[in-house]
Amino acid sequence: MSKDLTPSTSTAFSDHGKLADAIGAQIREYRKKLKMTVADVARQSDLSPGMLSKIERGITSPSLNTLAAVANALNVPVTAFFRKYEEQRDCTYVKSGQGLEIERHGTRAGHLYHLLGHNIGGRVSTEPYLITLSDESEVFPLFQHQGVEFIYLLEGEVVYRHANKTYHLLPGDSLFFDADAPHGPEELVKLPIRLISVHSKAMSEE
């Protein structure tokens, strides 16, 4: 039996209400930035103050013509009113032991990476990893990539190099550094080693 994927009436009304709330909030935000009163914007939009107040509170949904008039009064494009609604709020949930095992560019033998999440949109790319090093892991302190990196040691003991300095890390220790400089484990003191590594860079950087 096929499953009905048509949204229910209540869901449709809920989404419609969220859109009205988002539009109203954006109109109010732009109005306040310009230090204009409801009456000021209403007058320039050929609306009553009461109607504009209802729009700002998400009580009523304005027509496209009404939005165009308000946008003209606030000197912004109509599309500006939809930005908050269209923003994607990413969230990644990974159960213990179920991170995606991947092979990163430049990874050496025995460096096991589990990707714990990623963001889809926005100006900054962030990738958190759980990295495990064992007796099969090669020592390789020459990783280099764009952006910044944060590592937090969970288990084991390692001498970690960044540029011309080394750091003897114990559980609970962390490093935050410019990832464009050569870095990586130089001495595996106590195995197994498990650490959280978070890589972050601007999306425009390739």
pLDDT at 175: 97
Do 27 and 61 fall within a single domain?
Answer: yes
Note whether 82 and 105 are same-domain residues: no
CATH number at residue 49: 1.10.260.40
Out of 18-22, 51-55, 159-163, 191-195, which region has the weakest mean confidence (pLDDT)?
A: 18-22
Which domain range does residue 150 map to? Answer: 100-202
38-96 pLDDT, tens per residue? 999 999 999 999 999 999 999 988 888 999 999 999 998 888 888 776 555 667 778 88
Residue 18 token pair: 């969220």
Domain match, 162 and 109 both: yes
Q: Give domain status of residue 16, yes or no.
A: yes
Considering 86, 114, 130, which residue would you say is the last residue of a domain? 86
Using an 8 Å Cβ cutoff, are 97 and 129 in contact?
no
94-136 residue pLDDT tens:
888 777 776 554 455 678 888 888 775 567 888 899 999 988 8
CATH number, domain of 135, equals: 2.60.120.10
In a shared domain, residues 110 and 55: no
For residue 91, tell me if it sits in a domain: no
Domains in the chain, number: 2
Rounded distance between C-alpha atoms, residue 48 and residue 63, angstroms: 15
Angle at 35 between CA 31 and CA 38, to 5 degrees: 50
Query: Looking at the domain assignment, is residue 82 inside a domain?
Result: yes
59 shares its domain with 110: no
Q: What is the pLDDT of residue 138?
A: 80
> Does residue 73 share a domain with residue 15?
yes
Q: What pLDDT, in 10s, does the model give residues 78-94?
A: 888 887 765 556 677 78
| Residue 191 domain-assigned (yes or no) | yes
Q: Please tell me whether residues 136 and 113 are part of one structural domain.
A: yes
110 and 40 both lie in a single domain: no
Peptide bond into 192 cis (omega under 30): yes
> Is residue 52 included in any domain, yes or no?
yes
Cβ(77)–Cβ(64) below 8 Å: no
Same domain, 170 and 111: yes
Question: What is the pLDDT at residue 3?
Answer: 38
- Is the pLDDT at 21 greater than 60? The verdict is yes
Instruction: Please state the pTM of the whole predicted model.
Output: 0.56
Domain limit, last residue, from 53, 86, 119: 86
Q: Could you tell me if residue 185 is inside a domain?
A: yes
In this predicted model, what pLDDT tens digit does every residue of 161-187 receive, in sequence order?
999 999 999 999 999 999 999 999 999
User: Do 48 and 127 lie in a common domain?
Assistant: no
- Are residue 154 and residue 187 in the same domain, yes or no? yes
At residue 145, what is the residue type? H
Mark which of 28, 51, 86 sits at the end of a domain: 86
Domain contains 95: no
